Amino acid sequence: MIFNQFPQTGWAAGQSATFERYNGGVERSDARRLSIAAALVVIAFAGACTSSPSATQRGAEPVAVPVANFSPAPSTVGSGSGGAMADDGSLSDDGSMANGVSLSDGVSGPRAISVQDGMATLLDETHSLTDPASPWVIVNKTTQLSPDYAPTDLTTPNLPIAGGNGSLRLDAANALTALSKAAEAELGQPLQLVSGFRPFDYQGNLYRNYFAEHGQERADTFSARAGFSEHQSGLAADVTEVGGDMNNFGATDLGRWTAENAWRFGFIVRYTEANRGITGYMPEPWHLRYIGEPLAKYYHGSGAISLETLFGLPPAPNYS
């Protein structure tokens, strides 16, 4: 088996969003008629409420669904506006989209993402959260990759590379090339890839060196054990300025630009201060995780702070 099962303590719940509209410019002569009509609606609504179930009884409150033991109806995560995804990944309230795609799961009401049996769906894309070949695979301290797993489509992106781990999966490599070219066009400097794909044994040696120098408790906050690293998936890239210190990347103009624009090319900054308690890792502004443009766009617009919260998975700050 490639992965351990997700713990049964995880929960996924839908969220709802309320949109209000203001319609100004009402003529004075209509004001009285409108207020009378509004009063009648309030009276009618109040009467209906006295004989109707409560909001909770009607199922208005989201129902939590165990991640590893899904019910027949899919759990849902994200905005419940029933709208569509705008250019910045946010959801509109009119149910329309330029390409005509609606963000409704068709089962438990309008939602952006549905998750069932380890499979996640966003719009017309469905990918596994447990298959290491999936662009949406979850790699954290509770899910372990097989020692012999390596992507079959590793390639070298076209940007400056430092060190010997300069390959990524094909889609991630192409996206990183595009991200670097955009940075060079807008800021005058490209990105430099410091580390991409790392095999199981390489990661094990790296972790053992940190363990010997800093001890287990400290090492676990900034280095993954063998099999638990996103780098083995071929979807993670550590980047910095050309010739720059990776530890200072977040404070540079290029680092800030990358954090603000990576989603446009299918990447997210995986480890941040906001999700430290979820991932168990210190912030790493240099660590980009490729998830593809549609999901990165939604991640950016949804306000999610980690892939775990996006998919309704449990926090994974510690090894099982």
Name the residue among 84, 73, 72, 71 with its Cα closest to residue 111: 84
Is the CA virtual torsion 65, 69, 72, 76 positive or negative? Answer: positive
Tell me whether residue 284 is one of the annotated catalytic residues. Answer: yes
The token pair that represents 222 in the structure block: 């900034």
> Structure tokens of 244?
């720059």
Burial, 103: exposed, middle or buried (Cβ in 10 Å; 0-12, 13-18, 19+)? buried
CA distance 68 to 286: 32
Q: Which two tokens stand for residue 134?
A: 């999936």
Enter the tokens of residue 15.
């969220």
Which of 61, 186, 213, 284 is catalytic? The answer is: 284
CA–CA gap between residue 43 and residue 66 (Å, rounded): 41
Q: Scanning the structure block, which residue is given the tokens 């410091």?
A: 194
Contact 229, 288 (CB under 8 A): no
CA 97 to chain centre: 21
User: Cα–Cα distance between 284 and 223 in angstroms, integer?
Assistant: 11
DSSP bridge partners of 195: 238
Cα separation, 173 vs 71, in Å, equals: 37
Angle between helical axes of 253-261 and 170-187 (0-180°, round to 10): 130
Q: Is the dihedral of CA 198, 298, 272, 194 positive or negative?
A: positive
Provide the β-strand partners of residue 75: 115
By annotation, the residues acting in catalysis are 284
